């Protein structure tokens, strides 16, 4: 449970930094992703989730 809370905190910190430092760039990225189909979004989400779990296992 502690690892999960740490990971959620890290996600919030990174998201907050992105919004604080480059909101326009993040908005452009979201516009780009709006044009992606569901299949591409699903694969991108799975890739991010896999990379996140691998990173958590690596640093643990």
For helices 2-21 and 38-59, give the axis angle rounded to 10 degrees.
120
What predicted TM-score, i.e. pTM, was given to this entire model?
A: 0.67
What's the pLDDT at 46?
Answer: 96
- Based on the structure, what is the number of domains in the chain? 1
* Residues spanned by the domain of 47: 2-59
State pLDDT tens for residues 42-54. 999 999 999 988 9
Residues in Cβ contact with 21 at an 8 Å cutoff, skipping those fewer than 6 apart: none
State pLDDT tens for residues 3-54. 788 888 989 999 999 899 999 998 999 999 999 999 999 999 999 999 988 9
What's the pLDDT at 13?
Answer: 95
Handedness of CA 51, 41, 25, 21 (dihedral sign): negative
What's the pLDDT at 2?
Answer: 83
């Amino acid at each position: 449970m502690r690892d999960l809370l740490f990971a959620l905190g890290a996600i919030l910190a990174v998201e907050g930094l992105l919004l604080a430092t480059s909101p326009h760039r993040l908005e452009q990225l979201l516009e780009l992703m709006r044009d992606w189909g569901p299949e591409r979004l699903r694969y991108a989400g799975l890739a991010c989730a896999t990379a996140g779990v691998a990173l958590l296992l690596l640093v643990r």
